[in-house]
Amino acid sequence: MEKNESTRGWWGAIWPYGLIVATFVADRLAKRWMADFFAAHGDTRLNAWVTLRETYNRGVAFGWFPGVGVVVGWLSVLVLAAALFYLWRTPRALWVERLGLALFVGGAAGNLWDRITTGEVLDFVQLRLRVGIFNVADVCINLGVIVLLLGMLWEQIKETRRRKTEGGQAAEN
């Protein structure tokens, strides 16, 4: 395997964990800032597409199943543990998958922190598209899943091409 900057040395080992911390901190700071903003200004329409709206989510994504906070909390712990284990086991060369996992874990940790400390998650961005109200952690979770899936798809495409190339070379011999 050819080494590149994403797989070399200590940086190749720890950058996803640094991204987890950065994502978690960004989510915490955004929620803190928005809580202070709402206390001073209330809900605010920024433009025709975006409204800042203070909403507390006690359920799962999009506010579904409110009142299952303990179940969601434990499920979140299990999913986070599984994602961290998968990240730890993912080879450094699969940097796209590691990027997706790091974004997912950082965002999930931010929302889990809220559930543990307050029993609810502050959501505050509402788009005109009516896709729900969300926060920085939610964006990182969704972006992380998309990046992870794209990374997995890319690896499958590369493997398929490699097998075709090997198959073609074997047929020529």
Whether 27 is catalytic is no
Confirm whether 171 is domain-assigned. no
Residue 143 placed within a domain: yes
pLDDT higher for 6 or 145?
Answer: 145
* Residue 114 a catalytic site member: no
User: Is residue 156, in this structure, part of any structural domain at all?
Assistant: yes
Counting the structural domains of the chain, the total is 1
- Confirm whether 103 is domain-assigned: yes
Structure tokens at 109: 């940790």
Q: Identify the band that residue 21 occupies on the pLDDT scale cut at 50, 70 and 90.
A: very high
What's the pLDDT score for residue 56?
A: 92
- For residues 98 and 92, is the Cβ–Cβ distance under 8 A? yes
Share of the chain above pLDDT 90, in %: 66
- Residue 5 resides in a domain: no
**Res 67: pLDDT:** 65
Can you tell me the mean pLDDT for 37-42?
A: 96
Catalytic position from the list 27, 36, 43, 138: 138
Does 157 fall in a domain? yes
Domain of 119, in residue numbers: 12-163
Q: What is the pLDDT of residue 171?
A: 59
Q: pLDDT tens for residues 110-154?
A: 999 998 899 889 999 999 987 789 999 999 999 999 999 999 999
- What pTM was estimated for this model as a whole? 0.85
Q: Single out the residue of 59, 58, 40, 44 nearest to residue 126, CA to CA.
A: 44
Q: What pLDDT does residue 70 have?
A: 72
